[in-house]
Structure 1
Amino acid sequence: MGQEKLDAFFNHLFDSKKMMGSVAIWSRDSLYYANSIGYADVHRKAKNDQDTKFRIGSITKTYTAVLILKAVEEKKLNLNTYLSDFYPQIKNAEKITIEQLLKHRSGLFNFTDIEGEDIWEQDFHTEAEIVQYVANEKSNFEPNSDYEYSNTNYTLLGFILEKIYQKNYADLLQEKICKPLKLINTYFSTETDVDKNEAISYNIQNEYIQNSTVNFSNHPASGGIASTAIELNKFLAALFNGKLISKASLDLMLPENKGEYGMGIEKTSFKNPVGYTHNGRINNYLAEYWYFPQEKLGIVTLSNAINVALFQSQNALIQYAYGKEFALPDFEQTKDLSKEQFAQIKGTYLEHGGKITITISSDGTNLIFQSSEIGQMYVPFRYKGNDIFEYEDEKVVLEFKPDEKRVLLKEAESVFDFIKI
């Protein structure tokens, strides 16, 4: 199958206002395929390219886990060390080990779930302020009794690295990972800089709406790294081929069961080939990697605007890598509505008497909802019949009135009226 078809697939995503971003396939120590679509900066018409840097969100955790295990190898740290050695003010710190932080088995409350955190994270905060921010939150379970993903775990791990090395996280990342691998487009910084060819995050509406800024001082080791699809692949290849940590340390990182979280890495649900993954999201920076050690195959998608599942991109890439056919998704219908029916309700709507807009589109299967107010990634709705769609068992309902070019958004006791524009 020719590269032209895969190029056409990604052009189709961009032309349909489904995605802007960058992708790459890495096969046996060399670049097999790369492509970039859309804009890093819509206002300046600066296009994404192979050197455009994207925030990779929680994929940062894979790098942080590597840095922790390098610290263990250098005898700077022990996996059985207790959190209380560094932060005794954190609840249950005397029971929580470094290993439990790595595996999300600490019980610590996820600070990104704190009400108002989306506003709080827009400003710079010091280590002391961040620790204080999480110190008073409840524990969700006794350490090592359960698993629950929490950004708090890796934020604290980053600060611990800074304490034991007396260097900041950005410098440690460069010293221990980027410089040895000659990665020039991978780094940690607190703010997005378009002059460094960094992509801006956008919500897709009838136009691209820039998301609110995030200060990554609040996501240091849990979600703040910027990188490219090619360099993320280079990092993965180096990690799995013994160029960063020992095989024994890598084995500690890797979970045994499908869908299980190890140390900064999750095992894919694929039966064959055996692979490992992590994804990330901050605003509409959505990122995902798959790596298959036996095949030495890396698949990476990074985006700065998207309203389809990243799986659509990842799946097309792996099908191409294996020489298999894949189809262009049809975004003009859903599985429940014909093209004619869907054409009547798709588009952008403005709140009656307000400024909020919502956009209705399709990912080729489901009806997709996006709101300008919350700047979030797409939300799929389920069809209930009679032009009514629901999300999460009727917690949110969309009732379309096609003849009037209106839609009612019902949430709890509130009803919001939107007019198609």
Structure 2
Amino acid sequence: MGGCNYSTNNFLVLFNMVYNFYCSKTVVHLGMAALGSVWLTACSSLLKDHDISQDSRSRVQKAVDSVRTALEKDLGNSVPSLNLYVQTPTQAIFTSSVPAGATPFTENTNFRFASNTKTFTSTALLKMHQDGWLDFKAKIADNIPGTNISYVPNTAEWDFPFKNEITIEQLMQHSAGVYDVDNDPVPGFNGLSYTAYVQNADPDHQFTTEEMVLQLAKNKLSYFAPTTDYHYSNTGYSILGYIIARVYSLKSGGIKTYENYLQDHIVGPGTKVPLALRFPVRADDTVLPAPRAEGVERTPDGKTIVFGNYNMSAQIAEGNGYGTPAALNTFIRKLMRGEHVLTPETVKLMQTDVNLKSGNQYALGCFFTPNLGFGHNGERCGTLSLAMYDPTTGVSVVAFITLVDNSNVTNDENSTFYKSFNAIYGAAYGGRAALGYPGRP
């Protein structure tokens, strides 16, 4: 089993290329959607057992099939699967496109949804803010409300650049300038990121936020001063996961983890909207349960890696989530409608336009894409995914492909990685268009 680190930097470059393309066209749309959309209420319940016409299902299946087969032709190689869950105000449809002879996935197939986890992290922080447990506008060096304990330790190991100026909100927006030791090279690790180097040497290593932050402090690593620019940072979200665990531990009077809070307050059996989603934090919690979708990665040196069980302890709060397309769809749909744990007012905070000098439109753990709405995407272990809700039409989509093709990587649209990444958007837009909703702009 190989590592998940081959394509991460390519993902960030191409993610920003696609993301900035859409955002540059839709700054006004973002503000209007966040502040002026009327939440659809009629016919809004989950329609798992709704009578779906065979024609609708066939049209969605044909749209997803066409994207997968076109990608196969473009790559000159097979595409293991392309999958879409689409829900409108009147119907919910799941389709799985696979090569002839392969078994399609179902809406209850588990897959790693990677950086879609960041929306859960933001939801957790805003729920804590809503409950008065923290202030998301506070600096991370400030004290947790009602205590004399700071959000992060005031120790030499945590003395990284600009720490005393950074706020929780800036970390959520990727505007804090925190260097990403999960994606970018760190001095002393042979040109690799810290997490890639360590996990390659020891696949069972138990990662901690403290050891990753220590690299920032030791090497004085930073991208820029807070709010002066935008740079996507997994490490910034790792720090947010640490804050969630630290605040929850204080509130509960015992040691709690990031996943403990999510299970107890966001998605677990006792929560408002129980969902079978997991966010493993231990190095030995590696099993992706059946039925499961195993991602495939093609490397520049011609190798093919199939990912099964995997140590996700380096990705806590930024990319460690997994679950089913049905459950992820329910989460993003109900969250963005103000029907989950966040009030409609707090959801509007989450969707706020950032308006940085850099032109960044990344809000609080989510972003806006024309004709798809609010949500996130992700890449991890040979799987690319997307989860979005469009408040204008009431349509939600979850798309994922079990292929990350790095056989010919460039920083433009000719990249095999970009073509794999673009396919999840093609499926999402194609499925919407098949049901009579606006597709790709």
Structure-2-length-normalised TM-score: 0.65
Give the one of 322, 335, 349 matched to 1:239. 335
2:287 is the counterpart of 1:193:
yes
Q: Which residue of 2 aligns with 1:54?
A: 111
Q: Which residue of 2 aligns with 1:8?
A: 62
2:224 is the counterpart of 1:141:
yes
CA distance in 1, matches of 2:378, 2:332: 15
Structure-1-length-normalised TM-score: 0.68
Q: Which residue of 2 aligns with 1:34?
A: 94
Q: Deviations over 1:210-250 (max 9, x none)?
A: 15975211111011110222211111121122222122211
Alpha-carbon distance change, 7 to 106 in structure 1, aligned in 2, over 3 angstroms: same
CA distance in 2, matches of 1:38, 1:274: 24
Amino acid at match of 1:10: V
Q: Deviations over 1:163-202 (max 9, x none)?
A: 0101211121112221325444311125542444332221
Give the one of 189, 196, 220 matched to 2:316. 220
Amino acid at match of 1:95: E
For the 8 Å contact 2:332–2:388, the answer to whether it is kept is no
- Report the 3-state secondary structure (helix = DSSP H, G, I; strand = E; otherwise coil) of the residue aligned with 2:116: helix
- Report the 3-state secondary structure (helix = DSSP H, G, I; strand = E; otherwise coil) of the residue aligned with 2:178: coil
CA distance in 2, matches of 1:218, 1:184: 24
Q: Output aligned runs, 1:153-302, within 5 Å.
A: 153-166=236-249, 167-179=256-268, 180-190=271-281, 191-203=285-297, 209-211=305-307, 214-242=310-338, 243-256=340-353, 260-268=361-369, 270=370, 273=371, 275-302=373-400
> What are structure 2's unaligned runs of at least 5 residues?
1-54, 73-77, 142-149, 186-190, 250-255, 406-419
For the 8 Å contact 1:22–1:228, the answer to whether it is kept is no
Q: Which residue of 1 aligns with 2:35?
A: none
For the 8 Å contact 1:25–1:33, the answer to whether it is kept is yes
2:155 is the counterpart of 1:94:
no
For the 8 Å contact 1:13–1:19, the answer to whether it is kept is no
CA offset at residue 31 of structure 1? 5.0
Tell me whether 296-305 or 181-190 shows the greater mean CA deviation.
181-190
Calculate percent identity across the aligned residue pairs. 23
For the 8 Å contact 2:288–2:308, the answer to whether it is kept is no
CA distance in 2, matches of 1:189, 1:31: 32
- Report the 3-state secondary structure (helix = DSSP H, G, I; strand = E; otherwise coil) of the residue aligned with 2:163: coil
Q: Deviations over 1:349-400 (max 9, x none)?
A: xxxxxxxxxxxxxxxxxxxxxxxxxxxxxxxxxxxxxxxxxxxxxxxxxxxx
Q: Which residue of 1 aligns with 2:432?
A: 318
Q: Which residue of 1 aligns with 2:45?
A: none
CA offset at residue 283 of structure 1? 3.1
Amino acid at match of 1:34: F
2:121 is the counterpart of 1:25:
no
Amino acid at match of 1:6: V
Structure number with greater CO (CA < 8 Å, separation at least 6) is 2
CA offset at residue 2 of structure 1? 3.9
For the 8 Å contact 1:203–1:284, the answer to whether it is kept is yes
Alpha-carbon distance change, 313 to 325 in structure 1, aligned in 2, over 3 angstroms: closer
CA distance in 1, matches of 2:308, 2:344: 41
Quick check: which one's strand share is greater? Answer: 1
CA RMSD of aligned residues (A): 3.0
- Report the 3-state secondary structure (helix = DSSP H, G, I; strand = E; otherwise coil) of the residue aligned with 2:138: coil
Larger Rg: 1
> What are structure 1's unaligned runs of at least 5 residues?
327-421
For the 8 Å contact 1:183–1:231, the answer to whether it is kept is no
CA distance in 2, matches of 1:46, 1:128: 43
For the 8 Å contact 2:85–2:399, the answer to whether it is kept is yes
For the 8 Å contact 2:372–2:388, the answer to whether it is kept is no
Quick check: which one's helix share is greater? Answer: 2
Amino acid at match of 2:58: E
CA offset at residue 54 of structure 1? 1.2
Q: Which residue of 2 aligns with 1:372?
A: none
